[in-house]
Amino acid sequence: MCGIIGCAGRGDSTLDTLLHGLSKLEYRGYDSAGVALSDDDLTVRRKAGKLDALETSLGADPLQNGSGSVSDNPVGIGHTRWSTHGPPTDGNAHPHRDCTGRVAVIHNGIIENYQELRDELAASGHEFESDTDTEVVPHLIETALDSGMAPEEAVRDSIDRLEGAYAICVVIAGVDQVFAARNDSPLVLGVSDDAYFFASDVPAFREFTDKVIYLDDGEFAVINQNGYRVTDSNGAVVEKTVNTIEWDPEETGKSGYDHYMLKEIHEQPRALRQCLQGRVDELAGEVILEELGDVNPDAVQFVACGTSYHAALYGAQLFRSIGIPAQAYIASEYATSVPPIDDDLVIGVTQSGETADTLSALREARRRGAKTMAVTNVVGSTAARECDEALYIRAGPEIGVAATKTFASQLVTLALLSLWIDGEEDNRDVIAGFRDLASNVQAILDDTNARKIAEEYHDSDAYFFIGRGLHHPVALEGALKFKEISYEHAEGFPAGELKHGPLALVTDNTPVFAVVTGEGEQARKTIGNVKEVEARDAPVIAVTDGQSDVERYADHVLEIPESTPRTAAVLANVQLQLVSYYAAAQLGRPIDKPRNLAKSVTVE
């Protein structure tokens, strides 16, 4: 959600560096973009719409200062905005300036006391040009500068007055530095031999360096062409660890695919191998999670949002199956209505490790004395650093807003965690089921008929997804994927719930996707639910491994290989991802950047 890039030391390539960084942050979701360069003067350009609108604007009217050009070595900041305060307009786009035009600020997050500050500033003569909360920041800095404060002191003093979540970058005319601070919103610092960067996520500067520093809440940082400095809220220098990013910048490209989402669906076999590598010993029947300490919970509470919440539902079922009470909670509800915790382990499932609602839930759990664990994809993320334990899903970088390979890796990681905590010797057969998982996913990718089914039903009134047991979270996820990238109405249900209300919506133009695997009681009961919708003339698409006779009642079949119940859920999900992708493609939707959505939701 929103994207930040700042740089110093890139010389006359500064503007190109900012634009490149913004292009790598488009996946986060945004509706306007802007840049600012600072040397003796400050020059700003911002535009509503996508990045190409800004680039077109710059082509027609290049950035230049009052003397008609920009120096050979400016500092700069850039931003992509996801609207919270005010609609997506040129005036609401970042960077925002003060009255004098010498201060420019970009900001992710929400400043909760902005109205109070704005009223105070307006009463003292400041004029505002936007609807945003961010605009109070440059005016606060302007006031501090006018009082005689030095630039860094003025920025610090202004940030100290803010309440809420923020990652902020500031440039000031005549100052060859970029100032930055974070609180409850991600911000990283990139370090190369001759240049330094700020960004909301590593891909923004990965092409220029693989060295990164993860800033913590309350820290303040400064970069210029000669180096960087990180201090705490009191101004004391903080020695930070410089981490090395292991993935190659080419991993964030499309590699010839039409969309990142399709590429990442096809990357799932590799992602799953990475997830499993070194963690399963099939001969011994053991799961090995060396990164974890002593974890032996009496009960587990999962907190998560969106796709990660569906993974949490799956994980909670697995924990209950080994005799450990477990419940999955929507993080935004948990944070404001916390259930009794006692000695429960609280597990936050978050792809980015920066999801604001999940972080709030984890912090509230810790405040109440709970032990916490992050199940996340991002090494060094806020959740990973703040929790007592961190378990990485190892999916690799995911750019598409709609989570695909990270969901599959979350499911497998949670399955491994439940087996590791269980520690029973009779898990050998279950562990063996992971051996063929990656190749089974590849078989689906090679032979799927999802495109044909998506094309046949692309003009339906609505789409229902049903499943029982471990397939219920898969049904919910299938519906979420479908609605978020196709913009069509889709709902997921426990299969048995259709008859308790939703069946009233079933017609001959509402396809029902039913996940049915195995031949046990759950499969038989789900087939009964399939017959119920078939009797109402609804088309049925069965996602099945062929062990039941659901094909007899289905209009179409999406086949998956035979597997264990745990891995069948992963395989069924791949078919539903492909259906969603091809349906959205048939409708011409912007698949990688669905409207109103963001990859990492860093506001509550």
Q: In this structure, what token pair is assigned to residue 30?
A: 């945004």
> What is the chain's Cα-based Rg?
25
Which of 2, 7, 305, 387 is catalytic? The answer is: 2
CA angle 551, 553, 559 (to 5 degrees): 25
Q: Which residues of 524-548 are buried (b: 16+ CB within 10 A; e: fewer)?
A: eebbebbebbbeeebbbbbbbbbeb
Which of 481, 483, 593, 599 is catalytic? The answer is: 599
The CA distance from 275 to 271, in Å, is: 6
24 among known catalytic residues: no
50 among known catalytic residues: no
**CA nearest 470: which of 427, 423, 523?**
523
* Cis peptide bond prior to 297, omega within 30° of 0: no
Instruction: Kindly report the three-state secondary structure assignment for every residue of 496-533.
Output: HHHHHCHHHHCCCCCCEEEEECCCCHHHHHHHHHHHHH
In the three-class reduction of DSSP (H, G, I as helix; E, B as strand; rest coil), residue 74 is classed as coil
Q: Which residues contact 78 (CB under 8 A, 6 or more apart)?
A: 4, 5, 6, 18, 19, 21, 22, 33, 34, 35, 36, 106
Please count the CA atoms within 13 angstroms of the CA of 530 that sit on its side-chain side.
Answer: 28
The CA distance from 324 to 90, in Å, is: 53
In the three-class reduction of DSSP (H, G, I as helix; E, B as strand; rest coil), residue 428 is classed as helix
**CA nearest 142: which of 106, 115, 102?**
102
CA distances from 556 to 83, 444, 452, 547, 552 (A): 41, 15, 10, 16, 10
The CA distance from 233 to 330, in Å, is: 32
Q: In this structure, what token pair is assigned to residue 278?
A: 């070194």
Residue type, 442: Q
Q: Which residues are catalytic?
A: 2, 599
